[in-house]
Chain A
């Protein structure tokens, strides 16, 4: 399965719904999407990862890159993830301390930066 990406606007936030596999082959597509959003002035992003089946360190790197970009504009990048096998990857790498991780898009949107 390839990577799927859709975006929608929710008030001041942009929700990026990611599905499939984020790996060394597909991560560049996600990176381009995040760069395009920030270039277009979307600085408050919610990345919905509930449909992600696989995530590797290249994907983590892209998310860190996205966070750096929105932070440069006083923005935010929140993740939505409840899948244990994906959460485990954030825990092993210590990135749970870097990304706010929420259990639903609604919860992420309700969080105040």
Chain B
């Protein structure tokens, strides 16, 4: 059972809302501050990717985020029903392609040649896609203790499951009422901005 579940319309402005909720829930779960930053960034990347593929193929569908706080792990599952693009690049071990391979850092001509010298890559640097394609998932791989990417249960969409090992839970670090009010105001502002 997830601790918190969130579904949102595939709009870029809502990605920030999802990040803020992940931050608040992980803080409340007593996750150490460094890991909270990682969770915030990784959830943002996974949601941004989900929003992109959903907008492309099924703009009416919602993106789903499930946050689960258990004794020694914090797990976030981001699911979409969009048609996956080329941003999922299976690496040699069946997982995500490594950042070095993605950016071509092993290229003898040097990293600049590979990142800057290929203007016609599908992920145009001037489009809304991350550049190169897959950078977002590569970043996730660098931030998350365990990551699994799979097809949705009904055969459509993509499920990105991210797990952090957080160790023993801290004492209940519930948000105080002022922090909650500030968070609620920020989320309301974010929603208005989107309207």
A: residues with CB less than 8 A from B are 2, 21, 23-25, 27-28, 31, 35, 54, 56-58, 60-62, 64-65, 67-68, 71, 85, 89, 92-95, 97-98
Contact with A along B1-36 (1 / 0, CB 8 A): 000000000001101100100000000000000000
Contact with A along B96-131 (1 / 0, CB 8 A): 000110010100001110011001000101101111
B137 CB → nearest A CB, Å: 9
* Interface of A, helix, strand, loop or mixed by DSSP: helix
- Complexed CA–CA distance, A71 and B117 (Å): 10
Task: Verify A25–B111 contact, CB threshold 8 A.
Answer: no
Task: Verify A28–B115 contact, CB threshold 8 A.
Answer: no
Chain B residue contacts of A57, Cβ below 8 A: 45, 48, 130, 135-136, 138-139
- Number of cross-chain contacts by CB at 8 Å: 95
Q: List 26 A-B contacts (CB under 8 A).
A: A23-B12, A23-B16, A23-B48, A24-B12, A25-B13, A25-B15, A35-B126, A54-B41, A56-B44, A56-B136, A57-B138, A61-B129, A62-B125, A67-B116, A68-B125, A92-B142, A92-B143, A93-B103, A93-B138, A94-B103, A94-B105, A95-B115, A97-B105, A97-B112, A98-B111, A98-B112
- Complexed CA–CA distance, A35 and B135 (Å): 22
Chain B residue contacts of A31, Cβ below 8 A: 126
B66 near A: Cβ within 8 Å?
no
Task: Verify A25–B12 contact, CB threshold 8 A.
Answer: yes
Task: Verify A56–B131 contact, CB threshold 8 A.
Answer: no
B51 near A: Cβ within 8 Å?
yes
Task: Verify A56–B41 contact, CB threshold 8 A.
Answer: yes
B105 CB → nearest A CB, Å: 5
B37 near A: Cβ within 8 Å?
yes
